[in-house]
């Protein structure tokens, strides 16, 4: 099989694909590879190195599972390069479950963690919405102090550079906000993830298109 290199300065989508109360929930993160890529190294080597960092004890995957109820199940981590070349995704099967003490009895109530880019404008703002466990909110607010601290730890990890130097690749992955607007592709480095105090409602849409 021929080697397919990862283009320099590639942006990848990272999806945490899980289930809660018989509904599929997809949580999206985006990263830009900052470093030299080798024409003799297959793109999957870079994906493998990034996913290994997510799966580490203090990595993004476990910090995410800390926030969700014990009836949430993480099935797959999917990584796909989307810019400047859209490439075939790679799936990493998972058997993880939420590690928060209580369950999430409703699937559409969420804590919102805003991501702020380093440039001005509404296209430099995004969010990650994570299903709320029972008992951590009241009167429309995320009120449990212990849970607030868990989300704050996740926000720090989600907003931090991931270094994969020494794992088969030489470089770093920076969190970004990436989108196309009126035919123009914009990639903005994330300055910070910030927990919001109000409970949000997640709206459903059809999934599975374009697999």
The pair of three-digit structure tokens given for residue 177, joined into one six-digit string: 């906000």
Token pair for residue 20? 């809660």
Return the pLDDT at 8.
84
Question: What are the DSSP calls for 33-62, one per residue?
Answer: EES---TTSBHHHHHHHHHHHHHSTTSHHH
Output the pTM of the full model.
Answer: 0.91
pLDDT for residue 181: 75
| Torsion on CA atoms 23, 24, 29, 30, rounded to nearest 10 | -140
pLDDT for residue 119:
83
Residue 3 confidence (pLDDT): 83
- Mind listing the pLDDT tens digit of every residue in the chain (211 residues)? 678 888 888 999 999 999 999 899 999 999 999 887 787 789 999 999 999 999 999 999 999 999 999 999 999 999 999 999 999 999 999 999 999 999 998 888 999 999 999 888 777 889 999 999 999 999 999 999 999 999 999 999 999 999 987 766 778 999 999 988 777 788 899 999 999 999 998 876 555 444 4
Cis peptide bond N-terminal to 57, omega within 30: no
pLDDT computed for residue 150 by the predictor? 97
DSSP assignment, residue 153?
A: H
How far apart CA 113 and CA 136 sit, in angstroms, is: 15
Contact 44, 90 (CB under 8 A): yes
With H, G, I as helix, E, B as strand and everything else as coil, classify residue 192: strand
């Amino acid at each position: 099989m021929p080697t397919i290199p990862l283009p320099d300065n590639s942006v990848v989508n990272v999806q945490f694909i899980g289930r809660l109360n018989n509904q599929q929930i997809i949580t999206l993160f985006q990263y830009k590879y900052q470093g030299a890529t080798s024409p003799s190294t297959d793109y999957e080597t870079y994906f493998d190195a990034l996913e290994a960092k997510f799966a580490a004890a203090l990595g993004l995957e476990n910090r995410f599972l800390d926030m969700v109820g014990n009836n949430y199940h993480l099935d797959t981590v999917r990584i796909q390069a989307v810019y400047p070349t859209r490439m075939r995704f790679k799936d990493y099967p998972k058997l993880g479950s939420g590690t928060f003490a209580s369950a999430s009895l409703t699937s559409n109530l969420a804590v919102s963690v805003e991501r702020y880019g380093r440039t001005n404008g509404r296209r430099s703002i995004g969010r990650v919405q994570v299903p709320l466990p029972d008992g951590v909110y009241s009167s429309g607010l995320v009120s449990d102090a212990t849970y607030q601290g868990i989300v704050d730890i996740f926000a720090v990890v989600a907003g931090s550079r991931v270094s994969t130097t020494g794992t088969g690749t030489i470089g770093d992955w920076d969190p970004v906000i990436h989108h196309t607007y009126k035919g123009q592709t914009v990639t903005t480095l994330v300055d910070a993830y910030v927990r919001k105090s109000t409970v949000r409602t997640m709206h459903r849409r059809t999934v599975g298109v374009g697999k």
